[in-house]
Amino acid sequence: MSRRSDHKSGWSSRSIGSNWQHQFFYLAIKIGGRRAAYFVLYFVVAYYALFSRLARERAGHYVSRRFPEARGLKRLWHGYRMILNFGMVLIDRAVVGILGPDSFEVSLAGREQLLKIRDENRGMILMTAHVGCWQVAMSVLEFLERPVYMLMRQEDGDIDRHYFEHAGIECPYRVIDPTGYLGGTLEMLGVLKQGQVVSVMGDRLLGSDKSSCPVDFLGATATVPFSAYKIASASGAPIVIFFTRKSGPNSYEVEIARVIRVPELPGRESSTFTPYAQEFAEALEEVSRKHPYQFYNFHDMWAVEPPSIKQEGQE
């Protein structure tokens, strides 16, 4: 009698680098600071861009959509810059943990807006994407004076470390596991009902792709999750779309791109929530047009065939 099939997402959070390579960069940061680690990074990324088919393939999904006209060396160059920028973000994240939070300046545009939304006491869904460094945003949300819960999965064997793990401090946000009981949906709903904050990635399917919907993104149909819009509809919590970006060698900016309010909507068909997911996709496209090398998308979000409404009702 089971009604819906379950397709697992093929995405993995694991780094393609080995443990010793990560340790080498951490050592470079301790000895020579951020610049020393960046210096090494240029060569390491050049190696991966030239000789790692896996790295080129993973970068290629986004590069081919963002720069459709690029071929050959030009495409390789775009891939190199994308991986290089991503590597810098990972180094920055480690720098904050190893050398302290004062290593970077973080500015937040929209603080008053966030406080107003908080004061509505309907909870808040902070939706972001793999743009810039989302951990940076988490580190500047203390002023909300509300616990922040992050829907995230860190796979067993993932050697990439978060900045608070480097620093040996308590994680500044609480984690909701999307592979936990009912995908964490009840936990998220409970948190929002208490007026607290849940942060989710709007561009990544976690666990299952059956709660996905198609959106227009960079000239083609991509697949994004719609669970957050359903939860917003059920709880009344506004969705705040924000992105972080590296704005200088030692600075980051956090900007609010949109506030989406999903009314109370019956049912769970993907088509009901597609317009809201499309709003998110448009915001993400705007940021990837402005800052093409700061969207770190290394999986093919255009490849997964989104389930049709008919399929969802079958089985």
Give the shortest CB-9-to-other proteins separation in angstroms.
Answer: 14
* 267 touching other proteins, by CB under 8 A: yes
Which listed residue (137, 149, 187, 205) binds other proteins by CB under 8 A? 187
Assigned token pair, 62: 């986004």
Please answer whether residues 53 and 99 qualify as being in contact, where contact means their C-beta atoms are separated by less than 8 angstroms: no
Q: Is 131 left (phi over 0), alpha (psi -120 to 50) or beta?
A: beta
- What is the distance between the alpha carbons of residues 241 and 129, in angstroms, rounded to a whole number? 9
Considering only residues 1 to 30 of the shown chain, the ones binding other proteins according to CB under 8 A are: 1-4, 6
**Count of residues of this chain found to bind other proteins when the rule CB under 8 A is applied:** 29
* 258 touching other proteins, by CB under 8 A: no
Of the candidate spans 49-57, 102-110, 244-252, 266-274, the one that interacts with other proteins by CB under 8 A turns out to be 266-274
Of the candidate spans 34-42, 100-108, 126-134, 225-233, the one that interacts with other proteins by CB under 8 A turns out to be 225-233
* 231 touching other proteins, by CB under 8 A: yes
Closest CA to 205 of 265, 286, 151: 151
- What is the distance between the alpha carbons of residues 276 and 259, in angstroms, rounded to a whole number? 10
Assigned token pair, 238: 């506004």
* 174 touching other proteins, by CB under 8 A: no
- What is the distance between the alpha carbons of residues 46 and 64, in angstroms, rounded to a whole number? 19
Assigned token pair, 314: 């079958």
Give the shortest CB-268-to-other proteins separation in angstroms.
Answer: 5
Give the residue with the Cβ less far from other proteins, 81 or 268: 268
Which listed residue (66, 130, 162, 230) binds other proteins by CB under 8 A? 230
- What is the distance between the alpha carbons of residues 173 and 295, in angstroms, rounded to a whole number? 23
- The CB density around residue 12, as the number of other CB atoms within 10 Å, is 13
Which positions touch other proteins (CB under 8 A)? 1-4, 6, 181-187, 189-191, 193-194, 210-211, 227, 230-231, 234, 264, 266-268, 313, 315
